[in-house]
A and B are shown apart, each in its own frame.
Chain A
Amino acid sequence: GQQLNQSPQSMFIQEGEDVSMNCTSSSIFNTWLWYKQDPGEGPVLLIALYKAGELTSNGRLTAQFGITRKDSFLNISASIPSDVGIYFCAGGGETSGSRLTFGEGTQLTVNP
């Protein structure tokens, strides 16, 4: 099925470092969402973006909705051990109801 191209697939960083991950698509999306999933749990919404060019922050997290509506990035500043997990981007279209298309995920490991 269709998926977004998310990179990198995995990241190994030291505590305190900044992290950046992004998603690209060949299709236009009207909504971009970033989720985090911990082992044994469902995805939890981190940031939602609804307008092209929008830049939104949630604590140490910042995400942007690309101008072309075909990409988005997520930055995490000053990483801490509890940031460990899998981060997913997801896109939604205007006519797709609640349907989300997900990226492959970025596995983040933070070394204390």
Chain B
Amino acid sequence: KAGVTQTPRYLIKTRGQQVTLSCSPISGHRSVSWYQQTPGQGLQFLFEYFSETQRNKGNFPGRFSGRQFSNSRSEMNVSTLELGDSALYLCASSPIRGLGIKNIQYFGAGTRLSVL
């Protein structure tokens, strides 16, 4: 069974540009969550999608957005990039919402975004 796949693995952008990151969850998983990881702030929750609907949102500005498709694949978009957006963006998938015993979240390897 393939794991969580994130593309691209590395990305370099300049300030003011926008970027779209992709996450393909494990087959059969319908919940996808996104996290930002930086040395200063650690792992911060961005948002959670389930059944193509955003179910939960972290404390990030409106420049950060996402969506989920009918096949559960998810994308996140960051508009008007700032230097501080440089980070590892991680996606996690689980069968359903929540943190139950049979509902483990599996993380992808992440997309490393560098903003110059």
Contacts and interface: CB of A to CB of B under 8 A. Distances in A.
A88 interface: yes
B48 A97 contact: yes
Contacts, number: 75
Contacts of A45: 104-106
Contacts of B100: 50
Nearest to B3: A42
18 contacts: A1-B58, A42-B4, A42-B108, A43-B43, A43-B90, A50-B101, A96-B56, A97-B50, A97-B98, A98-B56, A98-B105, A99-B48, A100-B35, A100-B99, A101-B45, A102-B43, A102-B44, A103-B42
A17 to B, nearest CB: 26
A98 B98 contact: yes
Contacts of A1: 41, 44-45, 58-59
Interface of B: 4, 31, 33, 35, 41-45, 48, 50, 55-56, 58-59, 90, 92, 94, 97-101, 103-110
Q: Which of B42, B103, B109 has the most CB of A within 10 A?
A: B42
A83 B106 CA distance: 20
Contacts of B43: 43, 88, 90, 100, 102
Contacts of A31: 99
Q: Which of B43, B48, B50, B108 has the most CB of A within 10 A?
A: B43
B104 A48 contact: yes
Interface string A39-56: 011111100101000000
A40 B58 CA distance: 24
A43 B90 CA distance: 9
Q: Which of B41, B94, B101, B105 has the most CB of A within 10 A?
A: B105
Contacts of A42: 4, 90, 92, 107-110
A42 B59 CA distance: 22
A50 B100 CA distance: 8
Contacts of B90: 42-43
A97 B109 contact: no
Interface string A8-46: 000000000000000000000011010100001111110
